[in-house]
Structure 1
Amino acid sequence: MDTGTDGRRTAADDPADQGTGADHGAAGPRLGRRLTLLLALTCAVAVGNLYFPQAVVPLVAAGLHISPDTASLAVTGTQVGYTAGMFLLVPLGDRLPARRYLVVLLTLTGLGLLVAGCAPNLPVLAAASACVGLTTVAAQIVGPLAAGLVPDDRRGAVIGTLLSGSIGGMLLARTFGGALGEGSGWRAPYLAAAPLVLLLAVVLARALPATTPPSRQPYRALLAAPLRLLRAEPPLRRSCFYQATVFAAFSAVWTCLALLLTGPAYGLGAQAVGLLALVGGATMVCTPLAGRLVDRHGPDRVNLVCMLVVLASAAVLAAGGGGGLPGLAALVVGTLLLDVGMQSGMVANQARVYALRPDARSRLNTAYMTCAYLGGSAGSWLGVRVWGRAGWHGVCALVALLAALALARHLLALYGRRPAATGHRPAAPR
Structure 2
Amino acid sequence: MRSGLTLLLALAGGVAVANLYYSQPLLGPISAALGISPAAAGLAMTVTQAGYGLGMALVVPLGDRFENRRLIVCAFSVVAVALLCAGLAQNAATFLAAALVIGLGASVAQVIVPFASHLATPEERGRTVGNVLAGLIMGMMAARPLSSLVADAYGWRAIFLLSAGLVALMALGLSILAPRRQPPPGFRYRTLLRSMRELFRANPVLRRRAVVQFFLFGAFTLFWTAIPLLLLSPAYGLSQRGVALFALIAVTGAVAAPITGWAADRGWSVAGALIALSASALSFVLSFFGEAGTFVSLACLVAASVLIDCGVAASLVISQRMIFTLGSDARSRLNGLFYTIFYSGGAVGSAVGAWAYVVGGWSLVSGIGLAMTLVAGALHLLEPKGR
| 1:58 equivalent in alignment to 2:28 | yes
| Partner in structure 2 of residue 18 of structure 1 | none
**Cα distance in 1 between the residues matched to 2:241 and 2:346:** 23
| 1:211 equivalent in alignment to 2:181 | yes
Please, which of 357, 363, 388 is the counterpart of residue 333 of structure 2?
363
Aligned length: 387
Contact 2:249 2:306 in 1 (8 A): yes
**Cα distance in 2 between the residues matched to 1:124 and 1:70:** 16
Contact 1:59 1:270 in 2 (8 A): no
| 1:69 equivalent in alignment to 2:39 | yes
| 1:337 equivalent in alignment to 2:307 | yes
**Cα distance in 2 between the residues matched to 1:396 and 1:214:** 47
Letter in 2 for 1:148: H
Please, which of 349, 354, 361 is the counterpart of residue 379 of structure 1?
349
Letter in 2 for 1:151: T
TM-score, normalization by structure 2? 0.97
Contact 1:299 1:351 in 2 (8 A): no
Letter in 2 for 1:85: G
| Partner in structure 2 of residue 103 of structure 1 | 73
| Partner in structure 1 of residue 221 of structure 2 | 251
Shift of 1:340: 0.1
Letter in 2 for 1:355: T
Contact 1:105 1:135 in 2 (8 A): yes
Q: Structure 1 74/249 Cα, relative in aligned 2: closer, same or farther at 3 Å?
A: same
**Cα distance in 2 between the residues matched to 1:422 and 1:49:** 38
| Partner in structure 1 of residue 103 of structure 2 | 133
Identity of aligned pairs, percent? Answer: 39
Letter in 1 for 2:227: L
Shift of 1:423: 6.4
Of residues 103-112 and 385-394 in structure 1, the stretch that sits farther from structure 2 once superposed is: 385-394
Contact 2:42 2:353 in 1 (8 A): no
Shift of 1:65: 4.4
**Cα distance in 2 between the residues matched to 1:343 and 1:294:** 13
Letter in 2 for 1:236: L
| Partner in structure 2 of residue 296 of structure 1 | 266
| 1:156 equivalent in alignment to 2:126 | yes
Contact 2:59 2:108 in 1 (8 A): no
**Cα distance in 2 between the residues matched to 1:210 and 1:68:** 46
Deviations, residues 139-160 of structure 1 (Å, cap 9, x unaligned): 2011111111112221111111
Secondary structure of 2:233 counterpart: coil
Shift of 1:268: 1.6
**Cα distance in 1 between the residues matched to 2:265 and 2:185:** 27
Please, which of 28, 31, 35 is the counterpart of residue 5 of structure 2?
35
**Cα distance in 2 between the residues matched to 1:289 and 1:423:** 23
Deviations, residues 46-81 of structure 1 (Å, cap 9, x unaligned): 011011110211111332344333332111111111
Secondary structure of 2:326 counterpart: coil
Shift of 1:273: 2.5
**Cα distance in 2 between the residues matched to 1:215 and 1:268:** 55
Larger Rg, first or second structure (1 or 2): 1
Letter in 2 for 1:315: V
Kindly report the root-mean-square deviation, in angstroms, between the aligned alpha carbons of the 2 structures: 1.3
Letter in 2 for 1:117: G
Contact 1:299 1:352 in 2 (8 A): no
Of residues 178-187 and 360-369 in structure 1, the stretch that sits farther from structure 2 once superposed is: 178-187
Secondary structure of 1:170 counterpart: helix
Contact 2:253 2:307 in 1 (8 A): no
**Cα distance in 2 between the residues matched to 1:300 and 1:227:** 28
Deviations, residues 354-410 of structure 1 (Å, cap 9, x unaligned): 001111000000110001110100111122222222211111111111111111111
What does 1:391-410 align with in structure 2 at a 5 Å threshold?
391-410=361-380
What does 1:109-124 align with in structure 2 at a 5 Å threshold?
109-124=79-94
Deviations, residues 318-362 of structure 1 (Å, cap 9, x unaligned): 111111211211111001000000111000000000001111000
Please, which of 269, 275, 291 is the counterpart of residue 245 of structure 2?
275
TM-score, normalization by structure 1? 0.87
Letter in 1 for 2:193: L
What are the ranges of 5 or more consecutive residues in structure 2 without an aligned counterpart?
none
Letter in 1 for 2:205: P
**Cα distance in 2 between the residues matched to 1:263 and 1:118:** 28
The structure showing larger relative contact order (alpha-carbon pairs under 8 Å, at least 6 residues apart) is 2
| 1:143 equivalent in alignment to 2:98 | no
**Cα distance in 2 between the residues matched to 1:258 and 1:307:** 24
What are the ranges of 5 or more consecutive residues in structure 1 without an aligned counterpart?
1-30, 414-420, 425-430
Please, which of 274, 289, 294 is the counterpart of residue 319 of structure 1?
289
Contact 1:86 1:369 in 2 (8 A): yes
Of residues 267-276 and 37-46 in structure 1, the stretch that sits farther from structure 2 once superposed is: 267-276
**Cα distance in 1 between the residues matched to 2:199 and 2:266:** 26
Shift of 1:215: 4.8
Of residues 51-60 and 86-95 in structure 1, the stretch that sits farther from structure 2 once superposed is: 51-60
Contact 1:59 1:181 in 2 (8 A): no
| Partner in structure 2 of residue 390 of structure 1 | 360
